[in-house]
Amino acid sequence: MKTIQFREAICEAMSEEMRRDESVYLMGEEVAEYNGAYKASKGMLDEFGAKRVIDTPIAELGFAGIAIGSTMTGNRPIVEYMTFNFSLVGIDQIINNAAKIRQMSGGQFNCPIVFRGPTASAGQLAATHSQAFENWFANTPGLKVVVPSNPYDAKGLLKSAIRDNDPVIFMESEQMYGDKGEVPEGEYTIPLGVADIKREGTDVTIVSFGKIIKEAYIAADQLAEEGISCEIIDLRTVRPMDRKAILESVKKTNRLVVLEEAWPFGNVATEITYLVQSEAFDYLDAPVVKINTADTPAPYSPVLLAEWLPDHKDVIKAVKKVMYK
């Protein structure tokens, strides 16, 4: 094992897949000459050249369309968005073309493409740069949605995403690029659609994904001091969702808290809540509690942002609520 940063895990995954398959290429704003806005493509231009590591204009709709079209001629593009907030400019291409090519061509064309970049808030970036769109994309048939929370998962999942024959939305975080973690020295992949139990527990299940799961770890440590045992499930892939892992855990603990950095209406936590009440209702000893951001655009003020964003204190409060403590 070796210890690397999240950004290095992303870079390694892309580089290894580009060495493995000449049809894979990277395009996006500042991915080449600047080594990536977050240095996640450092050194790739030097190794692969300007034909496979391509700087684009600030034109997300345009380069998304070019990349999607190129899949129909045998390529496997990786499109980097500087932030998924900017993907809204190109969302017509993602939803109406990438997600539908296979069906609308009668299976004649696959669309093996990865759209990757940071999602959700990252400090004082204000309302238009602090949005989480996992549930938007996960609502769309034809798309797979991956949200890793650590370097090991990020590298293994990204390699699988690049090899996948369907479009994959791969969502990271500006606040995780410097995170360090162990990854194997050799080749490995992690299959899409498989959750991971990050912490075994017996009293309550906490389901989360992405960077916000760190708040669940903090809460679980503090709750353990009070004798409450939390099981933490990292979804890793939002769509397809590992329904079995969630249900098996809830049947063991009989309680569920879902932590998600997203607006509260119609999100991933809502889907999980429906899943559990429809397929494990008789196992529940308490109503499901979901924790989300406030139902407003993200504020710029650091004081208001701290109130808007869920934290470990919210998790502790929710766990104690389902424990009737």
DSSP structure string for 204-244: EEEEE-STTHHHHHHHHHHHHTTT--EEEEE-SEEES--HH
The one-letter amino acid at 219: A
Determine how many CB atoms are found less than 10 A away from the CB of residue 307.
Answer: 11
Please give the radius of gyration of the chain, using alpha carbons only, rounded to the nearest integer.
20
Strands 114-118 and 2-5: unpaired
14 burial level (CB within 10 Å; 0-12, 13-18, 19+): buried
Is 187 labeled as catalytic in the residue annotation? no
The C-alpha atoms of residue 272 and residue 86 are separated, in whole angstroms, by 27
Determine contact, residues 228/278, Cβ cutoff 8 Å.
Answer: no
Distance CA 222, CA 94 (A): 42
d(CA 82, CA 103): 29
Catalytic residue among 12, 17, 29, 60: 60
d(CA 32, CA 272): 39
180: three-class secondary structure by DSSP? strand
CA distance 33 to 80: 14
β-partners of residue 234 are: 196, 208
* Contact yes or no for 115/94 (Cβ under 8 A): yes
Instruction: Give me the catalytic one of 8, 12, 80, 129.
Output: 129
Q: Is 33 one of the catalytic residues?
A: no
Residues designated catalytic: 60, 129
